[in-house]
Structure 1
């Protein structure tokens, strides 16, 4: 009556129902005609002949029409049928039901004795036969039973009373239920048959596909491990014909040329042990020589026993997995070798180090791990591009590959980091000589794409198990030693020492503590006075960051400032310093400036300009009172936008000061590109000049002359005595800063000094 919306294909099932009905079409026609003929003969003396033959002719015509219709639809519904095809059968049942319902209505009043028995018996047999034989089409059959049953029940109710009528109705209901149940069962059975047929077809298709294209084959041996009933595919796989291979020892077939020499691969030895022990095995991998070619097979088998339990041989399956093994080997190589340089990668180096550590532990020896970091490689990458940098790494790998012996494994960890695993490191001199050779070899010039390049290398060395009981610990120790080499300027190697771990642990603890310093209000600002060199009048303060940990106590800025830069904490800390310094300066006299040191990391962030603008706006100080001190290192990273940030800062009206001039690269180019208001001379020059060092005096004079020509002021740092004050004043410095004029002051003292000193008053002792 409806089409279920599920994944089942109901078309073939409906077709099976219709086909079952068409197969019984002639039976249905014969049953109807025969039943009509019996009733005509029985009632020929009781009813008019024209009525009997008219009704009989009508039964024959309708029965024939139904039969012809069912037979004609067989071809159309042989494979699949629609829900409309099933619904159309209702008209067939209705037509037959109506024509047969005439019999009890018309013949019933004249039925007496034998005639009545013949009428009801014929109708009962016809209904029962329809319910059983035509249950494949339950819709048509149930309609036929309902119409005829209702007609019989009504006729009996009129003729005899309610008892027989109720019995007829009950009989009709039983037939309807039986027809429905049988029809449902037939649908389930047919659905199962279709599913089984589809599975059989799928299995047959797979088997045919396997026979045509499969690489697997069956093999069988007898109790003496000789081949029996060799399949053609097995014989073809070993390069023999099925007649020759029958009766040959199975191991001889697989061993090929090795059978005569007796030098069997390990896989064949393992197979022989399994066959000898009569054990089942699965996915045993072994090499097989087929002519001049070596193939890899994977075989599985189980022992066979007869009905008495006696061993009669093995039966198994084999497959050629040569291509799969080649793919696996390629994947393993890709997983363990660097694609750019062809050297072992981090995974393979870790495996080699773990094996070396195990051997050293087993035999009481030593192994070593070297970490190599290229010096100045980033400059090559940034200036000439990554493709050329990759080719340079390939040249580095080639040089390293020529340095190794069977005792070493050299690989690439990633980026510009390489490593060496030394299996036997008992010879300390040889180990150090290898480190020096690596540095010297990698420091020679390279010719890459018509470019002559110079880089270097730093090496960190750790010896196991002395410097680490596990591979992970040894790598960490070598990394700490490399860190020291990089701090020393590169181009050297360092051996791990226990204090390196202590320093690293201290650094880790400090970093954790520094991450909570802002939230825990552990940071504070001190302010060091900056005075006019000639008059000693206070011109401003430099804000200096201080950190006092509740348990570790005061921490030197020389320790935590570089740590903050490495840990990417300098931006939030620098913003805190800027906002607090501006807020404090807002409480001073309007002619007192505040100088704030700015990290290069802050200037490489375009959003830093907005931070400065917010600090000025929120505190209400004049932008001219804020002086930002930057170092030369900010100009070393080209293309980061730091120069544009400095230009935006100048547009806000703030001042810029170049700090520690002369201690770095001291390029005049960025002095011409950026409008600095002052240059700060490092305290190292001031102290050297006070001792009469001519070079330091000459540098100070040159810086002062340069600053004057560019319209900049000069500030001498680290002035601690009256003599130093007089000296820098004579050399032309405009401002001075140092302990002679005041140490860094807490906020309250600095505020008191800034508010009570009037311009022109000296703060010198």
Structure 2
């Protein structure tokens, strides 16, 4: 908008304008006062020349009318003053003054109104200078000339109502006085009435004219804004406009649209839109589904928004996002489509990548838990629909943690990648394998009607994953434990079926791993029992339900002298009764309760041992979690200090499993304990994987031969006899004592003594007993317990 109205002014069309606001006596409601004053000032400036010229012409007419009638001095004086003032006004209004100011305030408008008032006074003075000199007829002629100026003011200055009102009011009043002077009373009333009517007409016209100017400014501003946005839209390089005619052919092709298609605008003009988008598929007639959707929308003349379609441009597929609406003429006839488009290939690729990351494991490239659960849900739905079965396998890698702990996580990650490749080679179209996390994998079997199919597949997986791996010049051996469940019989939902497979997997792990078990309903009962047992076990220490019993250990040299006890944990629970350690110890390990329970056994055993003779030792079993805890050595020192027992009377028993968890840490802790004078015993020797290696790394004081070998030797089994002889020979060469466990009969005792074991432990010499009963063994003259 030109003039004093700024282009960036925020304009709104007011509901109405009061006469008081139009006259400048109050600020308008709903409209900026500066804007309205700017419109008024701009109108006066635009008509300055016409206004000044018209006043001079009318003045000359008045002079000629009263020439020879009015005194010469009066006529000349009025003419000189009138001409001088209007020439000054023309100079002021026609050059600068208020026009170059950014805003027109109320003071500026007051000055404009003052000029109008002076002009009115000068015309009014003509009735005094000139009108009193002539007759009534000359006065009527002068009033006619002034009436023309009044009409001009009301018609040509409608946007400046205060200036027009002042001029009309003053001149009408002066004309009425002149008529009264000549006794023309009716003419005086007529002059006042005509003035009043002209003032009302001027005010109404001013209101309409200002509202029109404001509306015109709003339209112009919005038109310029739209034009600017369209130019920015076309020049942004990201989106473009497109248009079709009634036959769905491109028309008025914009440069951006042509550039997006890699063609000239002239070559595209008049081509079918679908042909331009489909590329080679246009000739074959085989469109993607998205193009079919676009064709249907165009055919049905429906608006569409954010429609993603593939576009083939010179053999390369891009992705466009299109939006359009149908165009109609004033009579409602269809003219075609007009819309916008943008290339969203990069966003589409990014979205696909994000979707892939959300559904696939980044390390192995296998489907992740999300996709596995979705596929399992579909398989369960199909199984229920078609009255068949589906399957789900959970796979856990055996001995994988040892690889991570000894060789590091990078080697473990590369091992997982090889495991994933082997699994993929086994899978068919009927299966989907994926990674759940860590070293856990899973397989969804879509059709598992054949009961042998799952077992056969599990066997193939175990055989494949158990073969050696070559990773960074390391030959690695791991295994796989598998649990499987069938849907919907083992679970009608994804959660229940996965839980059933997990219970079956837990059973496989419990039985040593590298095996497969299918879900059985009793596993759920066992799991529930374990849950309740864990709950009870958490409060067992506080409720004093745990106690320690002691089993005698004697010499095997024939006199059966008592040399010590093994401390054994027992649990008597009101709900479960006397619970076997074989049942509650694994629960305590899984629930992370074994460390506080083990500390209780250690402290109780040290305290009770101080009531036995000084030469009697006590052996305490130590779990993997205890040994690898951060403050285990300090706990042992504290137990010895609080009880006052010397370190050499304490013997700590460990199994080979501690070396599978964290072998390096275990060796360091055992070396520190032995440095304190504590004796070390290796329990269940021969049942692990590489016991000889442990004997080389850690200096043990005692090796305990497992009861299974003792019972086998008593039955003259060659393997058991050979193992015991080898263990005894190895222990003697390393100056390590041997203890035979599980001796229950006299024949087993004789065999063990014959094979050379130094110490014996078993029911033959005594069952585990409470502390009070252990004291009874020392009341006789000799500690012979045979």
Do they superpose with TM above 0.5?
Answer: yes
Structure 1 position 525 matched with structure 2 position 525: no
Instruction: State whether structure 2 residue 784 is matched by structure 1 residue 762.
Output: yes
In structure 1, which of residues 328, 333, 347 is the aligned counterpart of residue 370 of structure 2? 347
Structure 1 residues 412 and 539, CA gap change in structure 2 (3 angstroms):
same
Q: Which of 517, 520, 533 is the aligned partner of 1:494?
A: 517
Q: Distance in 1 between matches of 2:696 and 2:267?
A: 94
Q: Select the structure of larger CA radius of gyration.
A: 2
Answer yes or no: is 1:621 the counterpart of 2:655: no
1:481 to 2:504 alignment = yes
Count of equivalent residues: 574
Q: Which of these residues, 725, 728, 739, is aligned with residue 715 of structure 1? A: 739
**TM-aligned CA deviation for residue 615 of structure 1:** 0.9
Q: How does 1:202-601 map onto structure 2 within 5 Å?
A: 210-221=233-244, 225=248, 227-243=250-266, 245-246=268-269, 249-304=272-327, 313-533=336-556, 534-601=558-625
Unaligned stretches of 5+ residues in structure 2: 1-101, 103-220
CA RMSD of aligned residues (A): 3.8
More displaced 10-residue stretch of structure 1: 376-385 or 213-222 = 376-385
**Equivalent pair of 1:605/1:642 in contact (CA under 8 Å):** no
Aligned to 1:641: 665
Please give the secondary structure, in 2, of the residue aligned with 1:616.
helix
Distance (whole Å) between structure 2 residues aligned to residue 484 and residue 431 of structure 1:
17
Query: TM-score scaled to structure 1, two decimals?
Result: 0.66
Q: Distance in 2 between matches of 1:748 and 1:444?
A: 54
Supply the distance in 2 between the matched residues of 1:287 and 1:549 (Cα, whole angstroms).
70
Contact 1:366 1:464 in 2 (8 A): yes
Matches within 5 A, 1:56-71: none
Evaluate the alpha carbon distance shift between residue 499 and residue 205 of structure 1 in structure 2; reply closer, same or farther with a 3 A threshold.
farther
> Structure 1, residues 179-217: CA drift from partner, whole Å, max 9, x if none?
xxxxxxxxxxxxxxxxxx9x9999999876654442211
Aligned counterpart, 2:771: 747
- 1:608 and 2:623 correspond: no
Equivalent position of 2:678 in the other structure: 654
Q: Quick one: distance in 1 between partners of 2:376 and 2:421?
A: 22
CA distance in 1, matches of 2:607, 2:489: 55
Change (3 A) 1:406 1:739: closer
Cα–Cα, structure 1 residues 216 and 539, in superposed 2: closer, same or farther, change >3 Å? same
**Aligned twin of 2:30:** none
Q: 1:749/1:202 Cα in 2 relative to 1: closer, same or farther (>3 Å)?
A: farther
Shift of 1:253: 4.3
The structural deviation recorded for 1:552 is 1.9
Deviations 1:290-324 (A, max 9, x none): 34332211112344556676665543221111222
Alignment of 1:45-60 (within 5 A): none
**Structure 2 contact 402–661 (Cα < 8 Å) conserved:** no
Equivalent-residue separation in structure 2 for 1:705 and 1:411 (angstroms)? 50
Q: Matched residue of 2:691: which SS?
A: coil
Per-residue CA deviations over 1:247-306 (Å, capped at 9, x if unaligned) read 555445444454455433322332344345554432111122334332211112344556
Question: Which secondary structure does the structure 2 equivalent of 1:632 belong to?
Answer: coil
- Tell me which residue corresponds to 1:89: none
TM-score of the aligned structures, taking structure 2 as reference length: 0.65
Give the CA deviation at 1:729: 3.9
Report the counterpart of residue 8 of structure 2 in structure 1: none
The Cα shift of 1:430 comes to 4.1
- CA displacement 1:215-244 (0-9 Å, x = unmatched): 211233456655443333223333554456
CA distance in 2, matches of 1:748, 1:205: 100
C-alpha separation in 1, matches of 2:394 and 2:621? 36
Compare 683-692 and 384-393 and name the one that shifted more.
384-393
Are residues 490 and 759 of structure 1, via their aligned partners in 2, closer, same or farther at CA, if it must alter by over 3 Å?
same
User: For residues 203 and 373 of structure 1, do their structure 2 counterparts lie closer, same or farther at Cα, with a shift above 3 Å needed?
Assistant: farther
Q: Secondary structure at the match of 1:531?
A: strand
Q: CA deviation at 1:561?
A: 1.4
By how many angstroms is 1:597 displaced? 1.0
Is 1:606–1:641's contact at 8 Å kept on the other side of the alignment?
no
Residue 551 of structure 1: CA displacement?
A: 1.2
Residue 139 (structure 2) aligns with: none
Partner residue, 1:183: none
CA distance in 1, matches of 2:719, 2:427: 48
Q: Which residue of 2 aligns with 1:115?
A: none
Q: SS state of the match for residue 402, structure 1?
A: helix
Q: Does the aligned pair in 2 maintain the 1:678–1:714 contact within 8 Å?
A: yes
Are residues 331 and 531 of structure 1, via their aligned partners in 2, closer, same or farther at CA, if it must alter by over 3 Å?
A: same
The Cα of 1:376 is off from its aligned counterpart by 4.4
Between the aligned partners of 1:505 and 1:263, the Cα distance in structure 2 is 58
Equivalent residues in 2 for 1:137-148 (5 A)?
none
Supply the distance in 2 between the matched residues of 1:384 and 1:761 (Cα, whole angstroms): 51
Is the contact between residue 233 and residue 240 of structure 2 (CA under 8 Å) also seen in structure 1? no
Conservation of the 8 A alpha-carbon contact between 2:618 and 2:650: yes
